[in-house]
């Protein structure tokens, strides 16, 4: 049984790299944000507008509780998934957690034209990303089995390096089996 969970900040490439990684590993791919949208029948900006961030986090926790129990899957999460202790507990104890890291400068470049991430639609985006990174980076590291820097690497290269790291890491195959 294989479970790989991708965590990290907005623009780290969790959704993009997750698809490549799943294909390389021959696993299914899922994304908590896509699942939340599917279940709600509305997109994330709508959920934030109508229910606030609190409503979104409640939906996210429900999806995490269920999806971290699925087998043979690469699961991409949203950047704020680590805020809730119960999410960290579920992710950290049920699968192999990869922290996809990107610097704030790189996150800014990759999310420049984005209109779908409510937290980046107001105020100074760089300031928002910097503050989120400060509070969340220790939480990503707390549950990560492996950390990889994505700056300057294409999604395909990051995914290939992850496959190598998972195979080389003594913890990897054991945890993945
Ligand atoms: N390693 C990378 N190099 C360059 N661009 C990337 C990389 N990973 C993701 N991107 C781009 O950055 C944007 C955000 O990627 P996404 O996968 O949605 O990140 P996340 O799910 O972590 O927020 C997308 O436009 C994607 O094509
Ligand atoms: O960092 C966050 O709090 C969020 C990240 C987003 O996902 P990505 O990290 O995939 O962009 C999405 O879950 C929502 O907009 C909130
Ligand atoms: Mg994503």
The pLDDT tens digits of the residues spanning 72-127 come to 999 999 999 999 999 999 999 999 999 999 999 999 999 999 999 999 998 899 99
Which long-range contacts link 170-173 to residues 24+ away (Cβ below 8 Å)? 171/96, 171/145, 172/96, 172/145, 172/146
Mean pLDDT, rounded, for 41-51: 98
Atom of ligand 1 nearest to the CA of 18: 17
Pocket of ligand 1, candidates 7, 12, 13, 106: which has the most ligand atoms within 8 Å of its Cβ, to mutate? 13
pTM for the full predicted model: 0.96
In 3-state terms, what secondary structure has residue 77? coil
Task: Consult the annotation and say whether 19 binds a ligand.
Answer: no
Whole-angstrom distance, CA of residue 135 vs CA of residue 147:
17
Mean pLDDT, rounded, for 60-76: 98
- Out of 3.30.300.30, 3.40.50.300, 3.30.70.60, 3.40.190.10, the CATH code matching 3-167 is 3.40.50.300
How far is ligand 1, taken at its centre, from the CA of residue 33, in Å? 14
Mean pLDDT, rounded, for 7-24: 96
Residue ranges covered by each domain of the chain: 3-167
Percent of all residues in the chain with a pLDDT value above 70, rounded to a whole number = 95
> Which pairing describes strands 73-76 and 3-7: parallel, antiparallel, or unpaired?
parallel
Whole-angstrom distance, CA of residue 177 vs CA of residue 35:
25
Which long-range contacts link 136-140 to residues 24+ away (Cβ below 8 Å)? 136/9, 136/79, 136/80, 136/82, 136/83, 139/82, 139/83, 139/88, 140/7, 140/8, 140/9, 140/82, 140/99, 140/101
Task: Consult the annotation and say whether 12 binds a ligand.
Answer: yes
How far is ligand 2, taken at its centre, from the CA of residue 79, in Å? 4
How far is ligand 2, taken at its centre, from the CA of residue 44, in Å? 9
pLDDT of amino acid 165: 81
pLDDT band at 164 (very low <50, low <70, confident <90, very high): confident
Mean pLDDT, rounded, for 48-66: 98
Atom of ligand 2 nearest to the CA of 15: 10
pLDDT of amino acid 173: 44
Whole-angstrom distance, CA of residue 148 vs CA of residue 27:
20
pLDDT of amino acid 175: 42
The binding-site residues of ligand 2, defined as CB within 6 angstroms of any ligand atom, are 10, 14-15, 33, 44, 78-80, 117-119
How far is ligand 1, taken at its centre, from the CA of residue 46, in Å? 22
CB of 95 shorter than 6 A to ligand 1: no
Q: DSSP secondary-structure letter at 1?
A: -
């Amino acid at each position: 049984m294989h479970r790989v969970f991708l965590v990290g900040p907005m623009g780290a490439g969790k959704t993009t790299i997750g698809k490549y990684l799943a294909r390389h590993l021959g696993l299914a791919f899922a994304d908590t944000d896509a699942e939340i949208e599917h279940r709600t029948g509305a997109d994330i900006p709508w959920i934030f507008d109508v229910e606030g961030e609190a409503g979104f986090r409640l939906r996210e926790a429900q999806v995490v509780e269920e999806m971290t129990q699925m087998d043979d899957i690469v699961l991409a999460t949203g950047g704020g998934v680590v805020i809730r202790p119960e999410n960290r507990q579920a992710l950290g104890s049920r699968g192999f957690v990869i922290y996809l890291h990107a610097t704030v400068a790189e996150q800014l470049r990759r999310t420049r034209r984005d209109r779908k991430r409510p937290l980046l639609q107001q105020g100074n985006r760089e300031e928002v990303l910097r503050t989120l990174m400060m509070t969340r980076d220790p939480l990503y590291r707390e549950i990560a089995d492996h950390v990889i820097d994505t700056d300057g690497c294409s999604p395909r290269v990051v995914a290939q390096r992850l496959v190598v790291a998972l195979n080389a890491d003594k913890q990897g195959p054991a945890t993945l089996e």
